[in-house]
Amino acid sequence: MSNSNRISASGALVVDDDPFTLGMISTAVQALGWSPVRSASSVAEALWVSRQVEVSVAVLDLDLGEGPTGIDLAIGLRNAHPAIGLVIISTYEEPRLIGLNLPPMPEGAIYLVKRTVTNSDVLGDSLQLAVGRQKNSGPENGGYKPSGRGMSDESLEIMRLVAVGHSNAEIARLRVMSVSGVEKAVARLLRHFGIPGGKNSSQRVLLAQTYFKLTGAVSSRRV
């Protein structure tokens, strides 16, 4: 985005349940020229703040702990302020990795994976894009490009359940499906990610590691 098209920065809201991240992002947003920058650590606080003062753009963490997610908050903010620009930022490669029971992201919202934010310009461009889209009512799925690599919702959910330590039988009970169905799904996942079998490694552990890599919880390093 060229500087000539830049939208004049105004009030921003940063929401994150981690105080350190909250402070860092708030500082970065302020340094990008958005002012004043309001910060909140929960959905309730964020909505309360948004009712008190005018906010042009909101930077929301996807995982806000127990209760509503950043997407729930984004929908609430959009309902209250249709013109608000929304940037959802997370370590998860895509929102589906946090769980399947999520609503779709609001129109025009940007999904930003933290590891791709290599400098403040990336964040600045995303903020500009989010606000610009709302002003122009851009319809492009918020710039969010799922990186599910062709995986179905069910496969992603089974991968998540394997990663949190459930057995195939337990996954079958939770997903209301047969154990053999789960086994086949796990086998598909292993093929999908090219996880080899053999005596020297546990495929289930490697699958869990792949999941956490996608969520940004661990690096790809393997000792």
Partner 1 sequence: MDDLGHQSLRARLGGRWSLSWQGWAVGSGCIWVAVMTRSALGAESTAQWLLWQPIVLAASLAVGLFMIALSRTLYRKRNQTPVAVWIVVACSGLAGVIATLTIIALASMVGLETGFGSIDQLVVIWLLSAYGSCLLNLFFYYLDRSATARAALIEEAVQLEVEALQRTSIMAQLQSQLEAEVAAELDAARATLELRLQLARDAEGIDQSSDRPDWREISALLRDTAQSSVRPLSARMFQQGARGYPRRPGWGIIANIVSAQPLRPLALIIIHLLGGLKAVTDTFGPERGMTLMAAQCLAILGICGFANDLMRRFPSQHSRVFIGALVLLQSGVIATSVFRESWVPGSAPVSWALVQVLTGAALVLITSGVGAWREFDRSSRDLFRGQIRRSKIASIARNRQLADLARQASRLLHGSVQTRLHACAMAIDGAGKAGTDQARIEALLEAMAILDHPLVAEVSPSSIGEEVKRKVALWGSLCEFTIEVKDDSQLDLGARNAISVSVGQIVEEGVSNAIRHGKATFITIVVSPHPDGTCDVEITDNGTGPRGGKPGIGSALLQQSSGGVWSLTALDRGSRLTVAVKA
In the complex, the residues that contact partner 1 under the rule CB under 8 A are 17-19, 22-23, 26, 35-36, 38-49, 52-54, 66-68, 72-73, 75-76, 99-103, 157, 173-176
Q: How far is the CB of 104 from partner 1 (least distance, A)?
A: 10
CA angle, 128 as apex, 123 and 131 as ends, to 5°?
Answer: 125
Nearest to 58 by CA among 20, 96, 88: 88
The first and second tokens of residue 93, run together, are: 């490669």
Which position has the token pair 């909101």? 58
Closer to partner 1 by Cβ: residue 42 or 203? 42
Closer to partner 1 by Cβ: residue 67 or 197? 67
Please report, as a single letter, which amino acid is at residue 217. Answer: A
Q: How far is the CB of 31 from partner 1 (least distance, A)?
A: 13
Using DSSP bridges, classify how beta strands 57-61 and 85-90 pair: parallel, antiparallel or unpaired: parallel
Question: Under a CB-based contact definition with an 8 Å cutoff, are residues 161 and 171 in contact?
Answer: yes
Closer to partner 1 by Cβ: residue 35 or 219? 35
Q: How far is the CB of 119 from partner 1 (least distance, A)?
A: 22
Closer to partner 1 by Cβ: residue 47 or 129? 47
Nearest to 11 by CA among 68, 64, 52, 61: 52
Q: How far is the CB of 83 from partner 1 (least distance, A)?
A: 18
